[in-house]
Homo-oligomer: A and B are copies of this chain.
Amino acid sequence: MARELAAFFEPESIAVVGASRSPEKLGHVVLRQLLEGFRGRVYPVNPKAEEILGVRCYPSVADLPEPVDLAVVVVPAPVTPRVVEDCGRRGVKAAIVISGGFSEVGNEELERELREAARRSGVRLIGPNCMGIYRPSVGLDTLFTPSDRLPRPGPGDVAILTQSGSFGGAILTWLAMEGRGISAFVSYGNRADVDEADLLRYFAEDPETRVIAIYVEGLRDGRGFMEAAREVTPSKPVVVFKAGRSQRGASAVRSHTGSLAGSDAAYEAAFKQCGVVRTYSTEEFLDASRALARLPTPRGPRVGIITNGGGYGVIAVDALEERGMEVPELDKATAERLRERLPPFYPVGNPLDLTGSSTPEQYLAGMVEMARSDVIDALIVMALYSVPLMEPRRTTDYILQVLRDYGKPIVVVSLDVTPEVARENSRLEAEGVPVFPSPERAASALAALWRYARLTQPLRLRR
């Protein structure tokens, strides 16, 4: 089943149906991007052109020199069912229909025709009314907005699936600006054929993808999604941002997509049952995905906080407690060892406040003793580098060392204060420690890790 979708994500040949000579047309942008980035064979299809961008053009799908893996369809909506049938006859395995003008504007009939054409001719279909696929590792990019208007993130390990193209675009911009990568981006629009369940199963087996993150307003086939999710979540985290939570939000979904958002309480319960980590804001959606892609799973909700700013410690405690996490008192043995390793005037506790006299070595002592402790499941490390004896490079070395040695998840709170700190923050990210700009966002990310562990545990036992 999952392999059926391989033609979308690992194609060797692609046809652009509706390729255009006019640089401002979608059919031109898509062709140009594929010619520039894609490593396989690319065939423009356009009955009125001999060649486009120096590449030989084919008058119709029937004339293609080979049964290509994937067709990207950018012709007017009424023509799309016929194009998809042509694809089937020519042996094309998969089609992305970018064109809009279907159920999202009330044209249910045309969408039904398109779906039936696909089913009849054995062509799997993503879309219509979508941006399609961006898969950085193979240079596959059907997003019709040029990269000077819509920046593209580089390769990474989170697959982003989105019902909304516009929100998807915002997410891509956000990630690109933060320097984060993705394994794939799929804007699937009206999902006339391929839906969230299909995509979940595909990315569950995609070795590039460590986390599947889905933005959705309403599922068409809730049961199918939940079934797929239950299969996938025990081995790969699935993060969902489900909009249309409020009553007014749900009615906005109805007028925007033409689909029912459904009862939010029902979604909430269903997501929990099948181990899906639900998030409630743009920031949390991305932060949780990043943390889940990088960090080991915690055994419990108990967090140790290490900082050299007392205020930061208090803010982190509030944020953790409000998100269902715990900040336990240290056990006697740990407190004693810390008292031995730290200067006598340091207050030993959780949060552990290393004060303005902190050194990287004291951070190491704090992290090691907390990571060794049986009452601590995860760490938040907040290092202000404005104090005289702190040093970003050594501190980073120590954080990575503790992550390796103890296998407990660690998140870091740090701002890119200086170029040196920015460099070390990037190194932390690259080596598997997510860095957040505020204690609240770090707390949210840890809470998502624990939610994942807790929700998927019963599913794993049942297997």
Contacts and interface: CB of A to CB of B under 8 A. Distances in A.
Q: How many copies altogether?
A: 2
A81 interface: no
A440 B282 contact: yes
Contacts of A326: 248
A163 interface: yes
Nearest to A163: B311
A351 interface: yes
A440 B283 CA distance: 9
Given A246-B317, A415-B174, A438 B310 contact: no
Interface string A421-441: 000000000000000011110
A308 B249 contact: no
A177 B345 CA distance: 34
Contacts of A317: 244, 246, 248-249, 252
Contacts of A217: 311, 314
B315 A438 contact: no
B252 A313 contact: yes
A360 B293 CA distance: 39
A166 B383 CA distance: 10
A414 to B, nearest CB: 10
Interface in A281-317: 281-283, 307-315, 317
Contact of A310 (B24, B149, B166, B386): B166
Nearest to A315: B243
A418 B318 CA distance: 37
A247 B24 CA distance: 59
A428 to B, nearest CB: 17
Contact of A415 (B177, B351, B418, B437): B177
A322 interface: yes
A252 B309 CA distance: 12
Given A217-B314, A243-B315, A314-B243, A145 B253 contact: no
A214 to B, nearest CB: 12
Contacts of A327: 248, 252
Nearest to A439: B282
A150 interface: yes
Interface string A166-196: 1111100110010000000000000000000
Contacts of A318: 243-246, 249
A40 to B, nearest CB: 27
A148 to B, nearest CB: 7
A307 to B, nearest CB: 8
B105 A384 contact: no
B388 A313 contact: no
Contact of A105 (B244, B314, B345, B437): B345
Contact of A169 (B162, B166, B309, B347): B309
A164 interface: yes
A78 interface: no
A340 to B, nearest CB: 19
Interface string A247-281: 11100110111000000000000000000000001
Given A244-B318, A283-B440, A440-B281, A312 B167 contact: yes
9 contacts: A149-B385, A149-B386, A164-B312, A165-B309, A169-B309, A243-B315, A245-B318, A252-B310, A282-B315
